[in-house]
Structure 1
């Protein structure tokens, strides 16, 4: 169980922390008494423990760093206690102490020199733009220096200190000066030699383009590529899925697509795509897009940095969102900042009007949901021996409202009812953020998982042969090979840009084929009776839709997407509303079964799934599908593309009008540009990470 693993990890960390305190105390006692065996043993044991913590307990090291007891402080304390031992141990000649102490100080100076050079190298190798799927060789991209030297100062200090510490301890224990001189000299040479080696990355041959040169390259690339429509995205480490769901749609639009990011780490979070990716962290540099041919930017999410790109008047901005949810909270007032809001169907248009957040109905455009193409349509009653039920609850939301998720109040009851039916195969796919706000949701999630594991153990049955597992392993290796770019352990941002330059033609298509093959192998590797707990990015939610005969979820975009299949579904009502009011408040519920927290409706729901003649909501699902997702003709992608072209034409017309007016006022444009540039510089954060996203 995860809780047991957490308890074990904490016990190990506590033991290590206590051992660290014991070793320092014993080292001090051995130096002051003095007691040579205790002193030597404690010194070496403390060094060994620090090496272990560096590689095996990064969490504890992070905690120690917060209280300013990091590796540098611990090593300084350890060496200081060794110097005290050299002074206090009677058998150590006094003339040994001074040269060894002086040499130790010089070795620390070499370490800090190496750190200073490493900082210069990192700054030189931090360009104002980061790219992927773009040939940026003109920026002077080169292989990165060793990670230990350039980006791991703590590990470097600790590893390079080993010969010095061992040598000093041997000198203290044997009263032989040479051991300390040899050991500390090795430490000095390692640090000083590393500084010299790192300095070669500051020479012209390895030094990349300057900021001015990189921005000039950006302008030249934009002028050559001539992008027309792009996707703008900014977010945290777990939010990349919001952008990834739009990659296939963006790639199929007419024109030259582009992905614009703001966080450097996000470049590697974007899934396999042939679309050029460019990350521009600073707002002042972002304004270079104003002079490009880019006409439309799609926004799948709001963030604190969205307002920065909205200041570019030559580009039209549309909010596409990353899901169609019934909750009024999903109609964010920020949406009125965009030129248009693109929604799936009429229901979302009505939702914005009910929310009264200032979005003009004329700015709402119905484009469907082009990502839903992979979802297979309803094919009738389950054909096999088992009815597959997908339980996909959402998370508790930032406000922790009990009506947001069914996990806390109804989850265990729903799962219990499903597991009690011998003809049910359960797929449990909780939201990845479950428990992040309300611990009760996380605890309920763990209990549900335990129930499923126990049910599988009690059910038993014949398992698939080893050939299916071998096929899954082969498909996994193939998919990983295609989707994961192999980088050296020391690769930094510039080296990854070099490796991920011009993409291989058709790579995205090959990834799609490999993904479908992996999904087929994944489901084939399990017996049809086995319940599954589905977590992580694979298999994707749409694949689970295709496996399921029935969906049970909460008020969320999962229900809207599932409706495209027209299969039966149910929504858990933990809001406290009466059923009629619940249906009236949330349109997605109108064609589904409403489950109360005790889940007593589950047996009857399963009966209607197995016997379609008892399904009284089939026609309602057809009608609601059109209401939520729009008509199937013309296809969603065609409507989406037409909306993009129309918005681009509006941007072009606006730019022509403004250019004509500006031309009539001599010098006005130059003055405006200068004022805007000064404003950008004044408001730009000094560090790319200073701006906080929401």
Structure 2
């Protein structure tokens, strides 16, 4: 499937590349012959094609830049060929008339390179050593960014500003007079000179932000004022932000002053809407500003290469909270022993670490539940499911994993069979929500995923019934616009990092509560916009998986954290066994499936599974699910957020105890090890009590 999508793109790129070189060849040949019509068409066509590629094929231009044939070289070559053409074409005196044009054209390029150098300087002065969000950083003299065409898009700037010069020179070639060329080059010179001067104003003292030393000094003062106690530390790639986002609601409810600490600049905008202050510190040297703050501990939802850097701060304690728990080996990473404590949902994860024998001691494992599962509703009246016209089934398979093990995902071996059996039941409504990375490792998974989607679309064409009126779609559009307004900050295209800091300096009221309310309203509007009988393919971020949980009476999935989360509802579930193990071995090896119906790759047990959902008296696993829920997620009382806060308090208490020990140790050190201020104070006291002795010491 991926290769089919790549072929047309490569054909377009190859066609564009051949066209570019054909135009250069035609321009050179027509300049030397000379041939005026071909010369004008080739020169203008080359500029138009280059401008088009800047917007439509940046990947191709990136490849050309790697072989040193970038936009500057191409435009310079294009202009030099125009100069050659003017020399060869009759009508213009090359010495008296063309020489000033050539000199003016060279001056244009001098200004271009000057503007480019200024752009580099401006970008460097506007990149602060930290990035903030939800923090008032106006004291750093933040300002709006210069136009992007001047500061960041030198290719577009060169092509746009040189267009008048190219048009004027071609006008001179056609009219055989110098005036069109003089006007065109003059306009280009004026544009480049004006842009360069305007860009230079960002280097004036009044427009420059605070220097790095002042920024770090400000950070220390802000930390003193805010007095954070607990931070969530996160580092990762562009697709990993969900690992931190799932903890935002929990972090907002912790006792104390929460803080989010990031390491990658791009990640600041990847974090979802929250009122919690966000601080990004890219350089490890600046991380130690946290050492002298009131911060006591850090929560880590994921392991990352840069995590080891923050673990070196001796004044902080660290707890690994993970971004999901399952029976997979990745849930027991040996890196976990680097943290002071490992926080897990319930006894199952504690047992998992001990069985894995990776060096995590049992005393360092703390059970806190899963506080972010609070949006999942428990279905107390399962008997009502049998009275509904349609049974809603959520099929949420995981992806194939980094190792490509066929037992990781059911999509390849069992997915089509499961969906076929579900679609064969006229009273089933299927919600299909595959993992977003399905097919990224194994092309077979991607192909099977597409076939499953096609099966669902075809099944929908065979169903009919009443549909919600147009007011339902209007309500969804209204709720979508409101949610988008709350969750996304609109920036102008020229906005850079500093300008975004300025616009996101502080949360606008209780934004997080407003987002929660808007999300709930959107969920209701979304599900109301579809008929009850229609199957759904859900591949976008909305609705989230928990919203799908609340719609479904039954889950079919794989061995993944989805199963653990689903168990909080205590509703029936099934797990596909594509591992090659027997059912007994499968349940023994993966504790999260012990209360599940196990489906073989043939999926021949789907009909009986649906029967047990519609007739609760046939549900053999109801008690087992309740027991497994407590084993996986811990007890329901006290609530998970209370246990989470208790764990924070206990770890912070250890930090306080250590600080007291360190202060006591420093106070008991010998005088020679005292600080300079303490030594001076001690000498002053001796001078007051014995002036003669003090003079002898001074001498």
The TM-score normalised by the length of structure 1 is: 0.94
Q: Distance in 2 between matches of 1:616 and 1:629?
A: 21
3-state DSSP class of the match of 1:223?
A: helix
Tell me the residue number matched to 1:207. Answer: 208
- CA change 1:366–1:668 in 2 (3 A) is farther
Whether 1:522 and 2:526 are equivalent positions in the alignment is yes
3-state DSSP class of the match of 1:546?
A: helix
Whether 1:389 and 2:393 are equivalent positions in the alignment is yes
- Post-superposition Cα deviations, 1:440-495, rounded to whole Å, max 9, x if no partner, equal 22222222222222222232433321111110000001111111122222111111
* Deviation (angstroms), 1:545: 0.4
1:158-557 matches, within 5 Å, as 158-378=159-379, 379-381=381-383, 382=385, 383-557=387-561
RMSD after superposition: 1.8
- Post-superposition Cα deviations, 1:164-223, rounded to whole Å, max 9, x if no partner, equal 111222223332222222212222221222111111111122111000000000000001
Q: Distance in 1 between matches of 2:536 and 2:292?
A: 52
Greater displacement, 568-577 / 640-649: 568-577
Tell me the residue number matched to 1:85. Answer: 85
- Post-superposition Cα deviations, 1:608-635, rounded to whole Å, max 9, x if no partner, equal 1111111111111011000000000111
Q: Distance in 2 between matches of 1:460 and 1:62?
A: 50
Larger radius of gyration: 2
- CA change 1:457–1:75 in 2 (3 A) is farther
* Deviation (angstroms), 1:94: 2.0
3-state DSSP class of the match of 1:275?
A: coil
- Post-superposition Cα deviations, 1:73-101, rounded to whole Å, max 9, x if no partner, equal 32222223222322333444322443322
Tell me the residue number matched to 1:51. Answer: 51
Conserved in 2, the CA contact under 8 Å of 1:394 and 1:405? Answer: yes
Q: Distance in 2 between matches of 1:533 and 1:50?
A: 40
Q: Distance in 2 between matches of 1:302 and 1:635?
A: 27
- Post-superposition Cα deviations, 1:405-437, rounded to whole Å, max 9, x if no partner, equal 111222222112212221111111111111222
Q: Which runs of 5+ in 1 are unaligned?
A: 672-694
* Deviation (angstroms), 1:28: 2.1
Q: Distance in 2 between matches of 1:551 and 1:14?
A: 47
- CA change 1:573–1:669 in 2 (3 A) is farther
- Post-superposition Cα deviations, 1:9-64, rounded to whole Å, max 9, x if no partner, equal 44443433332232222222222222111111011112112222222333333343
Q: Distance in 2 between matches of 1:666 and 1:13?
A: 74
Count of aligned positions: 671
Q: Distance in 1 between matches of 2:535 and 2:570?
A: 24
Conserved in 2, the CA contact under 8 Å of 1:107 and 1:185? Answer: no
- CA change 1:183–1:411 in 2 (3 A) is same
Tell me the residue number matched to 2:104. Answer: 103
Tell me the residue number matched to 2:692. Answer: none
- CA change 1:165–1:249 in 2 (3 A) is same
Q: Distance in 2 between matches of 1:302 and 1:169?
A: 60
Conserved in 1, the CA contact under 8 Å of 2:91 and 2:177? Answer: no
- CA change 1:320–1:186 in 2 (3 A) is same
3-state DSSP class of the match of 2:549?
A: helix
Q: Distance in 2 between matches of 1:453 and 1:300?
A: 37
* Deviation (angstroms), 1:229: 0.7
Alignment match of 1:652 (pick from 649, 656, 662):
656
- Post-superposition Cα deviations, 1:199-250, rounded to whole Å, max 9, x if no partner, equal 1111122111000000000000001110001100111111111111111111
Q: Distance in 1 between matches of 2:26 and 2:428?
A: 62
Alignment match of 1:565 (pick from 559, 569, 582):
569
- Post-superposition Cα deviations, 1:327-374, rounded to whole Å, max 9, x if no partner, equal 123211110000000000011011111222111111010000000111
Tell me the residue number matched to 2:580. Answer: 576
Q: Distance in 2 between matches of 1:512 and 1:545?
A: 17
Conserved in 1, the CA contact under 8 Å of 2:90 and 2:176? Answer: no
1:150-165 matches, within 5 Å, as 150-165=151-166
3-state DSSP class of the match of 2:382?
A: coil
3-state DSSP class of the match of 2:46?
A: helix
Tell me the residue number matched to 1:625. Answer: 629
Q: Distance in 1 between matches of 2:137 and 2:437?
A: 37
Tell me the residue number matched to 1:32. Answer: 32
Tell me the residue number matched to 1:685. Answer: none
Tell me the residue number matched to 1:588. Answer: 592
Tell me the residue number matched to 1:13. Answer: 13
- CA change 1:65–1:85 in 2 (3 A) is same
Q: Distance in 2 between matches of 1:224 and 1:142?
A: 24
- Post-superposition Cα deviations, 1:73-130, rounded to whole Å, max 9, x if no partner, equal 3222222322232233344432244332222221111111111111111111111111
3-state DSSP class of the match of 1:318?
A: strand
Q: Distance in 2 between matches of 1:483 and 1:329?
A: 31
* Deviation (angstroms), 1:667: 6.9
Q: Distance in 2 between matches of 1:212 and 1:588?
A: 52
- CA change 1:522–1:134 in 2 (3 A) is same
Conserved in 2, the CA contact under 8 Å of 1:328 and 1:351? Answer: no
Tell me the residue number matched to 1:613. Answer: 617
- CA change 1:8–1:458 in 2 (3 A) is farther
- Post-superposition Cα deviations, 1:659-679, rounded to whole Å, max 9, x if no partner, equal 3223415676979xxxxxxxx
* Deviation (angstroms), 1:5: 6.5
* Deviation (angstroms), 1:581: 0.7
Greater displacement, 537-546 / 72-81: 72-81
Conserved in 2, the CA contact under 8 Å of 1:161 and 1:187? Answer: yes
- CA change 1:458–1:20 in 2 (3 A) is farther
* Deviation (angstroms), 1:269: 1.0
Q: Distance in 2 between matches of 1:449 and 1:670?
A: 70
Tell me the residue number matched to 2:120. Answer: 119
* Deviation (angstroms), 1:534: 0.9
The TM-score normalised by the length of structure 2 is: 0.93
Tell me the residue number matched to 1:676. Answer: none
- CA change 1:179–1:406 in 2 (3 A) is same
Q: Distance in 1 between matches of 2:438 and 2:74?
A: 38
Q: Distance in 2 between matches of 1:36 and 1:618?
A: 86
3-state DSSP class of the match of 1:205?
A: helix
* Deviation (angstroms), 1:8: 4.7
Conserved in 2, the CA contact under 8 Å of 1:128 and 1:282? Answer: yes
Conserved in 2, the CA contact under 8 Å of 1:113 and 1:192? Answer: no
Tell me the residue number matched to 1:598. Answer: 602
- Post-superposition Cα deviations, 1:308-336, rounded to whole Å, max 9, x if no partner, equal 11000101000000001111232111100
- CA change 1:3–1:459 in 2 (3 A) is farther
Q: Distance in 2 between matches of 1:480 and 1:666?
A: 62
- CA change 1:159–1:224 in 2 (3 A) is same
Q: Distance in 2 between matches of 1:25 and 1:600?
A: 66
Q: Distance in 2 between matches of 1:413 and 1:387?
A: 18
